[in-house]
Structure 1
Amino acid sequence: MLIALAGMNLIIGFYLGKADDKREESRRRLNEITSLSEDLVISSQWATRFARAYVATKDPKKLDMYNELDDILEGKLARPENYGLEYWDLVSAGFIPPPDAKKTGKGPLEDQFLKLDITVEEFNQLKKAKALYVKVSTTERIAMHAVRGEFDDGTGAFAKKSKPDMAMAERLLYGNSYSEENGKLSKAVFDFNRMIRNRYKAVLEDEELHTAELVGMNTYLALGLFSIVIASVFYLQLRFVKRTSRLVAAVQSISNGDLATKTNITGQDEIGQIAGAIEAMASNLSAAFVSLEDKVKISEMTAAELNNERVRSEKLLHNILPATIAQRLQGGEEVIAEVYPEVTVFFSDIVGFTDLSAQLGPHETVNLLNAIFEKFDELVEAHGVEKIKTIGDSYMVVGGVPNRDPLHCQHVAEFALDAMSFIQEFPAHSPFPIEMRMGIHTGTVAAGVLGKKKFSYDLWGDVVNVASRFESTSLANKIHVSEAVKVRLNDDFVFLDAGTVELKGKGSAASFYLLGRKKEFPAVIEFKKH
């Protein structure tokens, strides 16, 4: 019986090793699938940036990186090591080399996924995401050909030559349809990742349960073997006192946790066999405990990885939408659109940005915008307003959306004054003078996630257009505001009458320049007026 129990103990140890290998394989497949699905997100986000950058600058490097990005996704180029969202930033900055054109990839994305045994439902979701990517990519390529004066001749080739159409390219890359398709693509990839994580979570839980069952069986067998050994020892002690005394001492040492104990008993009789069985049992128990500790560590690592995947998905969603809107989408809402009767909209842009960017070059231009917009982002958070988007050098902010705020106008004004103070001090850190126009207007807007599943939060309504007009008609380093803003802030802020201004498409309107807070020293206010 002792030999049978010891044999079963060894067999269970063998199956424990098999279970561990199976769990490792599941974790590897999960990592490979999620890594490949992230390539779609990386390609979607960076393709948009490269296409828009090429349309704006005609920089051939942007087109080269766009094509390399597409070749990596299609498996024509090898996927670079540590490929992630930050990879192309590092390439653009010159910190790492571009992808090696001599290294061939692993083939089309669909073929790579099929080798990883995804389900039919998951493959259909992947095909949906890939089809959306192709649709978005087609729009981007049409736009990039348009700025070179190349158009579809009806065969799918861009052999038709004409005058470059910049307006068409911008309309394609900045229109609602393009944004909606990008939003649908992000949602499709998000749903695919969720399906994969849910399936593998169940698989890993089943495998963990199976491992726990094997460990439990192994423990019970060891306890049974241990009990038989103890009984045998007491029986044999009556017949072989001297040898059994050492055997008992060894068993006691093992029971106290010292699984490395040796009996130092030899011979082919019953006591010698028992001594060998005890040592084998102790060795198996030691191996089982080590294996159990490894399984616990692996389980903790798997749980941490699943949590990291969840945090990464939520971070991607929160980068696109305000936190409250993202939570509502995650809660199951599919259509989010609301009317806000009282909000304040802010626009700004850099004076002479086109000429400035030509002097700086693309890399320094990006560094400049990052330095300015990072500070603006800090001020947005400090004043409790919401950043809607940036378009080139333009920065759009709203107060009172999506969280309704009775002091929306005051908060936007505070933000604008602090932002202008920063801009006026910024030239000290820049080789070129930086000036900015700002415009503010108050009124009613509609806000929400456009389309059925659009992942882009935006505002629409007349107040948005009017705020933009006030910005475009402002003087440099001035905050140009409407009469509606002045009425709401007149008690706490100082304004300078700017007379009547003609707003494109809106006619004439009274306008003012926001100078500062009334709590500032009068001499400072007078200085700002001049």
Structure 2
Amino acid sequence: MKLRTFFSIFFLLLVALAGGNLALGVFLEKAQKNLETSHRELQSLTTLAEDLVFSSQWQTRFARGYISSNDPRRVEWYNTIEDILNGKVARPKDYDSGYWDLVNGGIIPPPEKKSEGAVSIEERFLSQNVTAHELNKLKEARSFLEKVVAIERAAMHAVNGEFDDGAGTYSRKGKPDRALATKLLFSDEYRKLNGDLTLRIAQMQNLIRQRYAGRISQEQAFASQLFEANSYLNIGLFGVVVLSLIFLRNRFAVRASHLMSVVREIGSGNLAAQASVFGSDEISELATTVNTMAANLNVAFDKLEDKIKLSGKALSDLEIERSRSEKLLHNILPAAIAERLRGGEETIAEVFPEVTVFFSDIVGFTELSAKLGPHATVNMLNVLFEKFDELVEKHGVEKIKTIGDSYMVVGGVPNRDPLHCQHIADFALDAQSFIMSFAEGLSYPLQMRMGVHTGTVAAGVVGKKRFSYDLWGDVVNVASRFESTSKPDKIHVSEAVKVRLSDDYVFLDGGTVELKGKEATRSFFLIGKKTQMPGVLEFTTPGGAPDNPSRLRRDTPSFVPGFDRRA
């Protein structure tokens, strides 16, 4: 049989098997689409449940933000979240867990309060064909959410001096009570209600997942059956090909064997081998092609070897330069930011709602550096900043920059950290202890001022040729001004810092301080951790004078680290 006749028969068999394969492929694609639809519906319902979670979390943030700042925008955004859940305001586009981060950071404007197209979360669930049991869990979650909202509203009204009159309204007026508001939002009852809310949402999600598990399992089983049938059909196709190859081998055994031996020699590296096959059929044409290919490969390999030598050297040089670039990048940027730049991000800018910023500088640095001279000054700064760098690593905070004798550190950037304020406080206390110990062995006076503030910042990478990771925002300015108004060897902190740390740390009332460009504000001095000062319960001063720490409670020890009785 000639090759033409053989291939005609082979083609008919191939078309028949391919047609069956195509039909199975259509059914398999339909089954896969059904499976994808089930997964999409499951994801949609899960996402709706998550809306309740992040809405509750952001309402908590705005309520707590309002009682610490009295910013009316927090109340407005708080109400907007509730209106979106209740179907009074249309759900914005791209409304997810990061949406209010952008609004809070001023990146995007607050949502427009349009009622057109507004749908409550219950209606959205019902549109997804949920079961009665699942809907019941949603109602339970909504019930707990309403109780959480009631506590948060009571706290926000307390800050305004508005209290429940017993009829469910806040018409009873009184003195603003921030302490009561803080107590409400950090109470055991409030935490338990949030826990119950999260539990009901998790139970609802489990019910949804269980319901879809059976449906998805059936669809996967049907798709597997189709795939199995398709596999058998492919095996049939493979068998036809194998039988055809066997026929070709037996029909053209001698010439094909000789040709294969030549191909093996070429494959083993003998590119000078030539096939001696004569005739006018396809085998002879193949032999001619193989001979030509071997000759061309011989020439190509000679050229390739030269190129490999050149590319090897270039690759080695490139690797050296890459290592240098990576080392330099990690020295000037946080590791996470450096990795994002290496990953291809061109613009890195983010808003961090909760961070703590630390500033320090040396008291009388200009006069001290003039007295010591450049070499001694640089040596002193190296000792101080090397130790500070060690403390940065120890406490998991991020060094932003140094300018002369000023050292700037931030907690919660670039990796978000719920304990950012505690980590900065521990860093500041260790830095204070080191400075005071280090200064004892010097022949000249060395003291540092430190300032700490917490709040929202924007952070990002600036520069194209010389990268710099920096922070912006009012928090940075206020922290710097707390540092500049601090007393020597003291840690000067804002009231926002004290609110976050008062459970675990000891503070001295610093009285009212005037900050440049700001209204007079209360300030405090961070003294130490309560676990390290078990006898110190509080500092009391006669007549409320914050600058006279000489009178302590009876159970206060005579010495407090970082506390100078002469201050």
Q: So what's the TM-score if we normalise by structure 2?
A: 0.47
Q: Which structure has the greater CA radius of gyration?
A: 2
Q: Which has the higher contact order (CA 8 A, sep 6+)?
A: 1
Q: So what's the TM-score if we normalise by structure 1?
A: 0.49
